[in-house]
Amino acid sequence: MYTDIDRVAALERRVAQLEAHFTLSQQQPPAFALIEAINRNDELVDGVVTFGGAVDTGIGHYEYEWSRPTHWVTDSPWEDEISRLSALTHPQRGEILRRLLGAPATVAELVSGDIVSSTGTSYHHLGALQAAGWVTKHDGGYAIPPPASFHCW
């Protein structure tokens, strides 16, 4: 049989567990914070497609957010946007972009860093990335453009 002291001690333990749970929950954003924010917005009746992020790299801080209502995604033509995204589909282009996140680079630096196998290969992939707006020429080399110039759809 439990005494009053045992019952109070059990209650104190339970309250401490509950308080610890709420303290942790308030410190960490929920796993689907973006989805929860979208669901709370009564203006987004049909939903929205959104993505974004904030990162610090060797050359600075980048923040990006893209958001469009569902009808914009389902009813708009995709030809131009697919071309922009398809520029990213080659693994070497991904490696070039990863390298440029750290600092601008010349074609020679991309070759010497084993990012690409030759200057011809480098120019081929950089040309596709530049045409799609993912890289720009910068001081004799190539760089990722400032965040404000990124566009996708």
CB 153 within 8 A of CB 75: no
The tens digit of pLDDT for each residue in 33-78 reads 777 777 777 777 788 888 788 888 877 787 877 788 888 889 988 8
Helices 119-131 and 91-102 pack at an angle, to 10 degrees, of 80
| Domain boundaries of the chain, sorted by first residue | 4-30, 32-76, 81-153
The reported pLDDT for the residue numbered 18 is 79
The reported pLDDT for the residue numbered 141 is 95
The reported pLDDT for the residue numbered 25 is 52
The reported pLDDT for the residue numbered 37 is 77
Q: Which two tokens stand for residue 79?
A: 């030809």
CATH class for the domain made up of 81-153? mainly alpha
The reported pLDDT for the residue numbered 153 is 47
The tens digit of pLDDT for each residue in 86-133 reads 898 999 999 999 999 889 999 999 999 999 999 999 999 999 999 998
